[in-house]
Chains A and B, each alone.
Chain A
């Protein structure tokens, strides 16, 4: 088995250790944090740093490097899809747009996991809707880019809905995907983690977990990304109290209960480094990700999509029939330009029209397949194998046509569609969309396909012959090990997944408490933290 760190030199001990501080890990930390009041020691480990809101300068590349794995450019092994997932305290909830969806019944039915029902999940989702301040934005704050999306749908007679978004005192800065410099977005770094810390959970940033060895976690704590932030780093009780001093050290962290919440890529990777591939054949497999493509259209009047909340509307018209969801969206200059298929002066010409551009995104509801998986490369790091099969490609093509129709209906004069015969499609060509946007023009590796909804890889179920965990997130045959993140999804959620992840994490936390009570451990907290 691969190892990323040297022999551990230092020891720590907690009752409960949570690995990963995104939607799942932070929820578990908050829900279990009342145990700290009874003397329990709980740690929340995070691979990335503690982000400081006031240091967020909203620059596209600098913030992408700061918040995202591989600067937002993590590619699948076949190099035809880019995956966006974040690091740092708060995980990907730092960089989502706050779009809040409840898990639909159709997805729950497909999951078919005993115990996972809407009756169970709805109260949990409602709790976090309220806790995160999810609400419908006042129409006065909705920008023209979003209004055009709604207008296009309505003109075509397509059902259009407004997203709930989880912000408080939002100033409409429009840079949600680069982190929020005023903490208006109610991600876990703003809502759940402070509550957990208040109750006594120790947050340990810059902590890279290599593997789990029984009740021990082998990890390394690296140098904080900037020394000026060292005062913001949570201290770790150890032989020394200075995180800077601990920088090059590796740790053996012992815990009664370990809860893996490192996300759909890194949770399977940690399990594979810990147990190898023989332990459970489902680890890493059945990854889904809502493959997505963006497109843009030029309007005669200014659109100014950068002002105000970036995303407000979606259209479910084709979810059942064609398996894709349409959403309004806004991309920053470089991210936008890299989605344009082609090269030369036409690209420059289109980018120069940036303030006049309407942008939309189409997300495909991909099926879960065993071959879509996380494995380890020769360095022991996660790599993602994902096949964009013909069904997905067909959905993407149909979604592109649908977005084109929508944008022309909204008044666009011309648009750029990935997988089209030509760089620009003009308004007078609207009747030819079926031939201009066609599978014969759609070539993988030529079109930009991206994903920010990573799900599956440690699917839950009723037995080890079908799944990695039970419906309470407990890893089969491992009494002390749980999972509470998007990797639990047996198939895609069909909607933006963070609220579902929080609901499942809430359930896992409940299960952990029940297990502790059953074993009488709730009356026996550890004394002291240093082994």
Chain B
């Protein structure tokens, strides 16, 4: 019997992703446990339809952020202060190398998905739908 693959955000990847998400979308810093769980579920749901190669690239990119933190600051990303985290992520966001910018865009999109994809938060930001007739 084939074993079902673990969701992308599981184990240590959860903490790594959430640390980056907190920096990209600071609203997530105030998330309750329930909101965190929803965020994870949204990200995992979208990623479960992606092929393995795409998920590997994403995992690699997240690892690259940690490696860069070690190279530039001799600390893991999660151990850096906010200013240093911002500065490091800006290197990817604004990189002259397109593949880094695209990797950042993908990660940033997932971080936002976990936050602004939550329909429970839509009222908070003032998104209101007209009721059905």
> Chain A interface (Cβ within 8 Å of chain B)?
58-61, 65, 70-71, 73, 78-80, 171-175, 181-182, 304, 306-308, 332-334, 336-338, 342-345, 347-348, 351-356, 443-446, 448
CA distance A135 to B5 in the complex (A): 51
Interface of A is mostly: loop
Q: Which residue of A has the minimal Cβ distance to B89?
A: A343
Interface centre among A71, A308, A348, A356 (most CB of B within 10 A): A348
Contacts of B115 in A (CB 8 A): 337
The answer to whether B125 has its CB under 8 Å from any CB of chain A is yes
CA distance A172 to B93 in the complex (A): 38
CA distance A239 to B126 in the complex (A): 54
CA distance A347 to B108 in the complex (A): 11
Q: Which residue of B has the minimal Cβ distance to A308?
A: B130
Q: Which residue of B has the minimal Cβ distance to A61?
A: B117
B102–A348 contact, CB under 8 A?
no
A342–B93 contact, CB under 8 A?
yes
B window 10-26: CB within 8 A of A: 23-26
Interface of B is mostly: helix
A71–B46 contact, CB under 8 A?
yes
Q: Which residue of B has the minimal Cβ distance to A356?
A: B126
A355–B130 contact, CB under 8 A?
no
Min Cβ gap A448→B in Å is 7
B window 104-119: CB within 8 A of A: 104-106, 108-109, 111-113, 115-117, 119
- Interface size class for chain B? 35 or more
B132–A171 contact, CB under 8 A?
yes
Q: Which residue of A has the minimal Cβ distance to B111?
A: A343
Query: Please, could you name 12 A-B residue pairs with CB atoms under 8 Å apart, sorted by A?
Result: A65-B45, A173-B129, A173-B130, A304-B128, A308-B130, A333-B117, A338-B113, A343-B93, A347-B24, A348-B27, A352-B126, A446-B104
CA distance A344 to B85 in the complex (A): 11
B125–A352 contact, CB under 8 A?
yes
Min Cβ gap B84→A in Å is 13
Min Cβ gap B89→A in Å is 7
B23–A61 contact, CB under 8 A?
no
The answer to whether B33 has its CB under 8 Å from any CB of chain A is no
B130–A344 contact, CB under 8 A?
no
B46–A73 contact, CB under 8 A?
yes
A306–B117 contact, CB under 8 A?
no
CA distance A338 to B49 in the complex (A): 19
Contacts of A61 in B (CB 8 A): 42, 113, 117, 119
A71–B116 contact, CB under 8 A?
no
Contact of B93 among A308, A352, A446 (CB under 8 A): A446
Min Cβ gap B132→A in Å is 6
The answer to whether B98 has its CB under 8 Å from any CB of chain A is yes
Q: Which residue of A has the minimal Cβ distance to B27?
A: A348
Nearest 3 A/B pairs, CB to CB: A445-B101, A355-B126, A445-B102
B24–A80 contact, CB under 8 A?
no
B117–A444 contact, CB under 8 A?
no
B108–A343 contact, CB under 8 A?
yes
Q: Which residue of A has the minimal Cβ distance to B128?
A: A306
- What 7 new A-B contacts, CB under 8 Å, besides A173-B132, A343-B24, A444-B101? A61-B119, A73-B46, A334-B113, A351-B116, A351-B125, A446-B104, A446-B105
Answer whether A348 and B133 are a contact pair too, CB < 8 Å, given A334-B113, A355-B126, A445-B98.
no
CA distance A308 to B128 in the complex (A): 12
Answer whether A348 and B25 are a contact pair too, CB < 8 Å, given A79-B102, A334-B113, A334-B116.
yes
Contacts of B46 in A (CB 8 A): 71, 73
Contacts of A172 in B (CB 8 A): 130
B101–A443 contact, CB under 8 A?
yes
